[in-house]
Chain A
Amino acid sequence: MSVLDTTDALDVAGYAAAVRRSLADLGPEQVEDLSDDLEADLAEALDDERHVAHGRGLLEQFGPPEDYAAELRAAAGLAPATAHARRGQLLSDPVDDTRRFGRWALRRLRALAWWPPVEAFLIALRPVWWLLRGWVVYQLVAILAGASGWLPRNLAAFLVLVGAVILSVQYGRGAWFQQRRLAWLPVTANVVAVVAVLPLLAGAHDRLVASESVYADYTAGRLGGGGTQTIIQDKAVDGVVVDGVQVSNLFVYDADGSPLTDVQVYDDRGRPVRTTFDDGLGQYWFPEATEPWSFVSRVDSDGRARWNVYPLQGAPASEFTYDDDGLQVLPAESSATTPPWPFAKAPALDDAPEAAVGAEGAPSSSPTSTP
């Protein structure tokens, strides 16, 4: 026989289910005995009809399923269906009900103009589902066995995955598990796979992200304990960077190496050079400090806050309080001070001859006072 297309396969399944419903009063064993090859026989008959006869559908070829069932049981020497049987049908098989609903929905959809191309597309995707279904079964087995990961990491797990995929694809192709008494197996597997596929994909994705972050940690040397983490930023960092690290404060010394305070720093275009951008909210540690500091701004003659006046002054964070607007402010009784200088005096500059030349264009010493 040749492989039927999906429509026919559904027709066959639907017809066979209807026949079985008409036989339901005989009990499951008798029904199975009478109809275990029914799908295969119907499919083959349909196939023959298609190729050598008139291409009639199952209904035209065999008449109503109830008649088919009646003929089957009569030929088998069994009593015709009783009224009792029809009552039994009310308590129908949920699998059959689902199939019936599926067929009904499909019929409605096929009446819509846009559906056939969509259906053809979905049919083309079926092998993807077969693979995915095999993978889901593998994942469930792996979880039960305590393993995890997208893909197997050892031979046994690999064999389970291959086996699950083969079973799934063979069932998908209609090659295996076609017997009526095995029908529960693929139906159960399908239901489980449909229910489990999204949680499993989400879980696997989470694990992948987690393992990628572990890998990132590893390459950054955090797991080894020794390395320095390198942060690569696409955007330029605003502020002042020394040796790859942003600095929070600048200390300025004059030509003699004496510390200067209240030095305004601008770049070549007159933009203020700032080290902090948190407007006083941030806290910074100094070497050998016992608690972090926060900085305060200076105010220029126009009343604007200036953050490019170095060294930035501030106070230990615990001295700050919060005003009504939730802003961090220094209370009146404390005053901002200059944080500890790195050293009291820097090396003095050599009195190079060009210093005199330079002095014409720029003031060589600061206009500000010493601390």
Chain B
Amino acid sequence: MDTTQLLKGVLDLAVLAVVSDEDGYGYDVVRRLRAAGIEEVGDASVYGTLRRLYSSGALTSYVVPSDEGPHRKYYGINAQGRAMLEAQRKDWQEFAGTMGRLLKTEVVR
């Protein structure tokens, strides 16, 4: 099954979750998503999602100077983002539970 299709619906949630853990810049978020097991995510999708969440007011952004490389734009979560994360987390858990029950029944049947 093509998980990229699945991922599209929940990428906002995944990105919010990663950023709520700890502030991060674009590629850092990609790396943490991959480390968490979301391998198929496209870099550009993550960056685009970060921008969109930022422009919709769910994330804050600030630039951090770096000693060894270019300055990086970091994203952090704010109150609105947390609220969004909570709401989506609830939605996801309900949906996942539903799907789980559905699939379980199918498997058991």
Contact = CB atoms under 8 A, between A and B. Distances in A.
Contacts of B43: 41, 45, 62, 68
Interface string B62-96: 01001111111100000000000000000000000
B19 interface: no
A76 B49 contact: yes
Interface of A: 1, 3, 33-34, 36-41, 43-45, 48, 62, 68-69, 71-77, 174-175, 178-179
B69 A174 contact: yes
Given A1-B69, A175-B69, A72 B27 contact: no
Contacts of B55: 33, 76
Contacts of B52: 75-77
A41 B69 contact: no
A3 B70 CA distance: 10
Interface of B: 11, 25-27, 30-31, 42-49, 51-52, 55, 63, 66-73
A40 B31 CA distance: 14
Contact of A73 (B25, B48, B67, B68): B48
A108 B25 CA distance: 36
B68 A1 contact: yes
Contacts of A3: 68-69
Contacts of B27: 40-41, 44-45
A179 B71 contact: yes
A174 B67 CA distance: 10
Contacts of B45: 71-72, 74-75
B2 to A, nearest CB: 15
